[in-house]
Every structure is written in C-alpha cells, then in structure tokens.
Amino acid sequence: MAKQDRAIRTRQAILEAAAAVFDERGYEAAKLSDILELAQVTKGALYFHFDSKEDLAHAVIDAQVSVVPTAPPQISKVQEFVDVGMVFAHQLTRDRVLRGSVRLTLDQGGHELNRSGPYREWTEIGRRLLDAAKEAGELLPHADPAEVAPLFVGAYAGLNLMTHALEGDRMSMERWASTLYQHLLPSIVVPAVLTMLDLEPGRGARALGVSDGVS
C-alpha cells in the first residue's frame, strides 16, 4: 500500500510540474528536463507513468474538468450553471494543473495533441444544467440548451485568451465572466429568475464557501 501511495504521489508531482512548465512555456517550448527538475524525479520515474511528452500533455489536458471543485447544488439550475463557470474562474488563479491544462487547450502549438476533451466535457456539463433549468421553467421558450452551452464554453475560451494576452495573468477572468453572464443571461433566462441570481465577481468563492483571498 505504501508503494502504491508513493507511486500516486510521484505521478501527481510530475503532473503538477508538467502543468506549470506547459503553462509558462507552451507545449512546443516545454522540455522534459525542466519538468523533471521541477518535479524532482528521475527520468525513469517519469517514463514509468507517462510514455512521452505528448502523453504527459494529454494527461494534463484530460485533468482539466476533474481538478475544478464541483459547485454545490442550488435551487436554481441557472445559478448552478453560473456557479460552474465562476468556480472555474476562481480556481484558475489557484490550481496549477488547471492553468496548465487551459494553456494547452488554447495553445496553437503541438498539432498532434487532441484538445477536444475539455470542450466536450464542459459543454455537456452546461447542457445538462440548462436542460434542467429549461424543465424547471427558468429559461425563456426560445432558449435551446444544446445551442447555449457551447456558446458559453467558446466565450470562456475567448476570454481566457484575451485576458492572458492583454493583462498577462488570469486575475481578471472572474470579473469578465461576471460581465459575460450579466450581458447574455437576460436573453435566455426568465426575468423573475434573473433577479435572484448572484452573478457578481467572487461568486466562485462564495459558492464553494471559501475565502476569496488569493493564496
């Protein structure tokens, strides 16, 4: 059991180190030697868990959804839908695996990488919540969850690119996410529901019941 626990810790250390290097340098410029140095593991340990740099990058990409805490259930399914995005923005400044995964997902280098997973997963999560909102009468009649969910995922991808390019960090992502919801939700949400939603910056921390201070 101790050996298995050690292997799990080693794999996680490699994953976190890889995410940090990928986030800083992108896929093409990232070197396995830098990942080994940061993780403080041997080349043999890395290759025990991952076959190649490409395999390691895919593991970081695939971890994106799982490293984001699940937003607690809410009476309003639209609020739950918002909370998923706001918790994501909240964690983006705190979780190195998430940051590395997002960088790889948006990075144009490394054409051999399959980046479709996070887009499909976030879209499916959003669609399920919007389907529930539609069934509960929270959405306007014309709102189609199958169309709305990917629009928000695409908007988040664009905001991530823009904030990183213009401001050099992701600290403002939650503020822009709040603005996105405030402008777009009135076109799909029943007014009576809209007035009860918490769309303000800091909602991610409030939904999780944690401090809004950056650690």
Query: pLDDT value at position 5?
Result: 83
User: What pLDDT, on the 0 to 100 scale, is given for residue 213?
Assistant: 53
Q: What is the pLDDT of residue 153?
A: 98
Q: Which pLDDT score, from 0 to 100, does residue 211 have?
A: 72
CA distance 190 to 213: 33
8 near 85, Cβ under 8 Å? no
Structure tokens at 122: 């976030």
Phi, psi of 139 (to 5 degrees): -105, 150
For residue 168, the model assigns a pLDDT of 66
90: its two tokens: 């909240």
Residue 201's identity, in one-letter code, is: P
Alpha-carbon distance values, 165 to 151, 157, 161 (Å): 21, 12, 6
Q: What is the pLDDT along the chain (215 residues), one digit of tens a residue?
A: 666 788 899 999 999 999 999 999 999 999 999 999 999 999 999 999 999 999 999 999 999 999 999 999 999 999 999 999 999 999 998 999 999 999 999 987 778 899 999 999 999 999 999 999 999 999 999 999 999 999 999 999 999 999 888 876 667 899 999 999 999 999 999 999 999 999 999 999 999 998 765 43
Local structure of residue 195 (DSSP, 8 states): T
Model pTM score: 0.92
Q: Which residue has the tokens 């919801």?
A: 181
The pLDDT of residue 75 is 97
